[in-house]
């Protein structure tokens, strides 16, 4: 328990330093990158609550992010703009306009509710079957977002969300999600779920109800994804369903897997590392394209390098940078060992 507090303090410290650092530099580009980083933290740490503890890879997370973003959009776009932004919206919804804070909570609840209904039968599946069905779920959610024009404006861009997300708000939410993830991991549900991740047969022989535990974690992850979606929606202010599909799914899974899915520390480290690499590579790509050297344009450098980095990490360190222990646990153990040696 003690090491969980230390882990929380360190991870929150990192978020604080990045937040304050980006503000002090006062460069708008850095402010945007830092805000994106905080939003990614919400999503990746949210994914960790399910994937890390259950050991099941979930592709559906970004789909729930999309649900959250659209829910918040429908609830917050000003009434006079709605006839333009969402011309087909049902009549009674046209007058609804609530504060972004409540809309964000609603976004989380809608995502959690949908997750609770669709995931209940799915949580009996393990291994490859669980991964494939989560992918199918992403496809279903994406198709619905693309076609339920009344709510989403179809495949076209939806605009008009009030810009209420800034760096400090995103940082505060990221910090809250980190604490929730750490608490969930150490909770009774989290501990039993981790046992089932390690050995399903042995966990069942002790009397754990594995599908039910997974279901709870899946709902929590979807709730956080919904919140993350609303947060992102009010930062970017206009988006289309294609924002919630394969590219983003791959990105957050890369972040989590490189950092280490089993730990919250890993989720945070992976998000920071991949964000920095991503922005660096994008800058390089842009700089290369701006020069007159070479024959053509450099396209896809960012994606290819990230994919190679993922492969390299899987080969060299299959569990990610922080495979088993949280940072607080590592530090306390190291100190204890030093004390033993000193004696």
Within positions 296 to 335, which residues make up the interface with another protein, using CB under 8 A? 319, 323-324, 333
Measured from the CB of residue 321, what is the shortest distance to another protein in angstroms? 15
Q: How far, in Å, CA of 335 to CA of 337, rounded?
A: 5
Chain-centre distance of CA 153, in angstroms? Answer: 24
Q: Select the residue interacting with another protein from 128, 205, 315, 316 (CB under 8 A).
A: 205
Cβ atoms of 101 and 227 within 8 Å: the answer is no
Dihedrals phi, psi of 239, to nearest 5 degrees: -160, 165
Name, in order, each residue with C-beta under 8 angstroms of 1's C-beta and a sequence gap of 6 or more. 186
Taking the least distance from each CB to another protein, the nearer of 155 and 318 is: 318
Q: Is 83 in the site for another protein (CB under 8 A)?
A: no
Q: In a 10 Å sphere around its CB, with 0-12 CB exposed, 13-18 middle and 19+ buried, how is residue 287 labelled?
A: exposed
Q: Select the residue interacting with another protein from 95, 201, 290, 342 (CB under 8 A).
A: 201
Q: What count of Cα atoms within 13 Å lies in the side-chain half-sphere of residue 93?
A: 18
Q: Select the residue interacting with another protein from 88, 127, 166, 198 (CB under 8 A).
A: 198
Binding region for another protein (CB under 8 A) out of 71-79, 97-105, 168-176, 206-214: 206-214
Measured from the CB of residue 207, what is the shortest distance to another protein in angstroms? 4
Residue with tokens 């940072």: 327
Q: Which residues on adjacent β-strands are paired with residue 158?
A: 239
Measured from the CB of residue 52, what is the shortest distance to another protein in angstroms? 11
Q: Select the residue interacting with another protein from 203, 222, 267, 272 (CB under 8 A).
A: 203
Q: Select the residue interacting with another protein from 141, 195, 251, 258 (CB under 8 A).
A: 195
Q: Is 216 in the site for another protein (CB under 8 A)?
A: no
Fill in the per-residue mask, 115 to 154: x = in contact with another protein (CB under 8 A), - = not in contact: ----------------------------------------
Pick from 262, 247, 263: which is nearest to 303 by CA?
247
For the chain, percent helix, then strand, then coil, each to nearest 5? 80, 0, 20
Measured from the CB of residue 239, what is the shortest distance to another protein in angstroms? 38
Fill in the per-residue mask, 258 to 297: x = in contact with another protein (CB under 8 A), - = not in contact: ----x-----------------------------------
Measured from the CB of residue 244, what is the shortest distance to another protein in angstroms? 32
Binding region for another protein (CB under 8 A) out of 36-44, 148-156, 196-204, 307-315: 196-204
Tell me 157's DSSP state.
P
Binding region for another protein (CB under 8 A) out of 9-17, 191-199, 225-233, 293-301: 191-199
Q: How far, in Å, CA of 145 to CA of 156, rounded?
A: 10
Cβ atoms of 177 and 41 within 8 Å: the answer is yes
Size of the site for another protein (CB under 8 A): 22
Q: Is 194 in the site for another protein (CB under 8 A)?
A: yes
Q: Select the residue interacting with another protein from 206, 288, 312, 334 (CB under 8 A).
A: 206
Q: Select the residue interacting with another protein from 143, 209, 238, 289 (CB under 8 A).
A: 209
Taking the least distance from each CB to another protein, the nearer of 247 and 336 is: 336
Measured from the CB of residue 271, what is the shortest distance to another protein in angstroms? 21
| Interacting residues toward another protein by CB under 8 A | 187-188, 191-192, 194-195, 198-199, 201-209, 262, 319, 323-324, 333
């Amino acid at each position: 328990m003690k090491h969980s507090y230390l882990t929380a303090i360190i991870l929150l410290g990192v978020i604080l330093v990045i937040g304050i650092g980006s503000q002090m530099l006062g460069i708008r580009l850095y402010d945007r990158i830092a805000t994106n980083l905080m939003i990614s933290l919400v999503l990746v740490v949210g994914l960790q609550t399910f994937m890390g503890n259950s050991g099941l890879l979930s592709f559906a997370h970004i789909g729930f992010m999309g649900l959250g973003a659209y829910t918040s959009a429908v609830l917050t776009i000003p009434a006079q703009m709605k006839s333009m932004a969402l011309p087909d919206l049902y009549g009674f919804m046209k007058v609804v306009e609530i504060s972004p804070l409540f809309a964000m909570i609603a976004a989380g609840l809608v995502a959690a509710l949908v997750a609770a209904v669709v995931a209940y039968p799915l949580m009996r599946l393990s291994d490859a079957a669980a991964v494939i069905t989560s992918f199918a779920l992403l496809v279903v959610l994406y198709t619905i977002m693309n076609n339920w024009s009344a709510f989403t404006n179809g495949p076209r861009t939806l605009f008009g969300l009030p810009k209420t997300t800034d760096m400090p708000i995103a940082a505060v939410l990221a910090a809250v999600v980190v604490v929730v993830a750490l608490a969930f991991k150490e909770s009774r549900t989290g501990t039993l779920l981790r046992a089932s991740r390690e050995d399903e047969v042995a966990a069942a022989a002790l009397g754990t109800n594995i599908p039910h535990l997974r279901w709870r974690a899946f709902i929590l992850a979807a709730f956080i994804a919904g919140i993350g979606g609303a947060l992102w929606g009010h930062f970017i202010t206009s988006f289309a369903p294609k924002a919630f599909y394969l590219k983003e799914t791959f990105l957050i899974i890369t972040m989590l897997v490189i950092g280490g899915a089993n730990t919250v520390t890993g989720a945070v480290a992976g998000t920071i590392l991949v964000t920095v690499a991503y922005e660096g590579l994008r800058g390089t790509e842009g700089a290369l394209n701006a020069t007159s050297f070479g024959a053509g344009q450099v396209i896809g450098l960012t994606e290819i390098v990230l994919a190679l980095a993922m492969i390299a990490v899987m080969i060299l360190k299959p569990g990610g940078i922080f495979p088993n222990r949280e940072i607080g646990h590592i530090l306390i153990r190291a100190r204890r060992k030093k004390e033993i040696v000193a004696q």
